[in-house]
Amino acid sequence: MNVGRLSGGAVVVEEAPDPVAGSGEVVVRLAACGVCGTDLEKLRGNYRTAGKIGHEPVGVVDAVGSGVAGLRVGDRVFVHHHVPCLTCEVCRRGDLTFCPTYASTNLDPGGFSDRFRVPAENVDRSAVLRLDRSVGWEAGTLLEPAGCALTALRRVGFRPGDSVFVVGLGPVGILYGLVAISLGASWVAGAEIAPLRRATAVRSGFAAAVDPREPAALDRLVADATGGRGVDLAVAATGAPPAIALATRLARRAGTMNLFGLPESGGTLGADLQELYLRGVRVIPTYATTEREIADVHALLVGGKLDVGGIVTHTVPLARLPEAFALAGRPDEAVKVAVTGPAFGPGGSGPPPQTP
Ligand SMILES: [Zn+2]
Ligand SMILES: [Zn+2]
């Protein structure tokens, strides 16, 4: 089978043996897996984690190991790559994504493979979610990033009626705004350099999207919408230092800045700390997501409260993975790129007929 991985600073597709489902495990045949901004950062060498790529996969259960309850061959599923231990001090306080072993769990060999093995600990802790018929493959690949947005909104204490400004409208920045809208945000807008992504955000439901290189227009927009106070929640959805400084400045007095996008390794805050202190802006980093938020986002999709159509702009077959990465790195051409596998089917995006 085909497996995509990082090798010597490049993305390559190699031949590998098919995985086997051991006790408590399942093997999934890939339908699609999104290319995440963090995958691009791993390729650039800017992400200090294990070098696996591909963590937004959906597919069809291909094999079920002994002792697995509730999953059958043929089930359409989303699979979450990381699971918390649920027993350590950090987990017991509820901060599951900061569990010290969370990021060491993963799929084998990763989401960009024709087939991948889901370890027993992931199966055990509900990381395999059966997709509703109404959720197509492309939308399914957005469950993980949208789950990250919901985890962030909960961690920062978002309340219905809050105003939100998202700096950086890549796919996950747009999803963040859409999830905030579905939770009852009073006003959601954002800043982004790439015109295609600004247009996608506005078409998806943002009140406005402006170019951050025009700070006067940006400041006027936020001032008009908030009576000059600043937003309740400003989100840095990109790691670019100027974006982080901008988000810090846009939050109202005693408001919140959510450090959401992966910052540069070794990056610093780049904000006037005395200003931050006197205005009482809370700076809250959030990271990743859990099974609970992924299931909640799935319910929002099924219930029609969240519409993610239009975010996935391109699908590229796994055999052309390097091309998918190149495209995902061109914000003027693509919003979200999904890599497709053998279960994607000739019908493309729609859910395939379910076998009873
Ligand atoms: Zn991701
Ligand atoms: Zn833990």
Taking the centre of ligand 1 as the mean of its atom positions, its distance from the CA of residue 144, in whole angstroms, is 6
CA distances from 243 to 36, 177, 191, 322 (A): 19, 16, 9, 28
Taking the centre of ligand 1 as the mean of its atom positions, its distance from the CA of residue 48, in whole angstroms, is 15
Question: What pLDDT score was predicted for residue 348?
Answer: 54
Q: Please state the rounded mean pLDDT for residues 53-73.
A: 97
Question: What pLDDT score was predicted for residue 356?
Answer: 39
Reply yes or no on whether the pLDDT at 53 is more than 90: yes
Taking the centre of ligand 1 as the mean of its atom positions, its distance from the CA of residue 37, in whole angstroms, is 7
Q: Write out the chain in H/E/C secondary structure.
A: CEEEEEECCEEEEEECCCCCCCCCCEEEEEEEEECCHHHHHHHHCCCCCCCCCCCCEEEEEEEECCCCCCCCCCCEEEECCCCCCCCCHHHHCCCHHHCCCHHHCCCECCCCECEEEECHHHHHCCCEEECCCCCCHHHHHCHHHHHHHHHHHHHCCCCCCCEEEEECCCHHHHHHHHHHHHCCCCEEEEECCCHHHHHHHHHHCCCEEECCCCHHHHHHHHHHHHCCCCEEEEEECCCCHHHHHHHHHHEEEEEEEEECCCCCCCCCCCCCHHHHHHHCCEEEECCCCCHHHHHHHHHHHHCCCCCCCCCEEEEEEHHHHHHHHHHHCCCCCCCEEEEECCCCCCCCCCCCCCCC
Q: How confident is the model at residue 351 (pLDDT cuts 50, 70, 90)?
A: low
Nearest ligand for residue 105 CA? 2
Q: In the numeric block, which tokens belong to residue 252? A: 């109202």
Q: Of 285 and 346, which is predicted with more confidence? A: 285
What does CATH list as the number for 2-142+308-340? 3.90.180.10
Hey, where are the domains in the chain?
2-142+308-340, 149-285
Q: Record the pTM.
A: 0.95
Render pLDDT for 149-158 as a digit per residue (tens, 0 to 9): 999 999 999 9
Q: How confident is the model at residue 46 (pLDDT cuts 50, 70, 90)?
A: confident
Question: What pLDDT score was predicted for residue 8?
Answer: 84
Taking the centre of ligand 1 as the mean of its atom positions, its distance from the CA of residue 38, in whole angstroms, is 6
Question: What pLDDT score was predicted for residue 49?
Answer: 65
Question: What pLDDT score was predicted for residue 271?
Answer: 86
> Residue 171: is the preceding peptide bond cis (ω within 30°)?
no
Q: Of 9 and 23, which is predicted with more confidence? A: 23
Taking the centre of ligand 2 as the mean of its atom positions, its distance from the CA of residue 122, in whole angstroms, is 13
Taking the centre of ligand 1 as the mean of its atom positions, its distance from the CA of residue 268, in whole angstroms, is 23
Q: Give 149-285's CATH code, choosing from 2.40.50.140, 3.40.50.720, 3.20.20.80, 3.30.1360.30.
A: 3.40.50.720
Taking the centre of ligand 1 as the mean of its atom positions, its distance from the CA of residue 110, in whole angstroms, is 13
Question: What pLDDT score was predicted for residue 9?
Answer: 87
Q: Please state the rounded mean pLDDT for residues 17-31.
A: 98
Q: Position 191: which residue type?
A: A
Taking the centre of ligand 2 as the mean of its atom positions, its distance from the CA of residue 139, in whole angstroms, is 29
Render pLDDT for 266-302 as a digit per residue (tens, 0 to 9): 888 888 899 999 999 999 999 999 999 999 999 999 9
Taking the centre of ligand 1 as the mean of its atom positions, its distance from the CA of residue 171, in whole angstroms, is 10
Q: How confident is the model at residue 355 (pLDDT cuts 50, 70, 90)?
A: very low
Which residues lie near ion ligand 2 (Cβ < 5 Å)? 84-85, 88, 91, 99
Reply yes or no on whether the pLDDT at 354 is more than 60: no
Taking the centre of ligand 2 as the mean of its atom positions, its distance from the CA of residue 20, in whole angstroms, is 27
Taking the centre of ligand 2 as the mean of its atom positions, its distance from the CA of residue 125, in whole angstroms, is 12
Reply yes or no on whether the pLDDT at 346 is more than 80: no
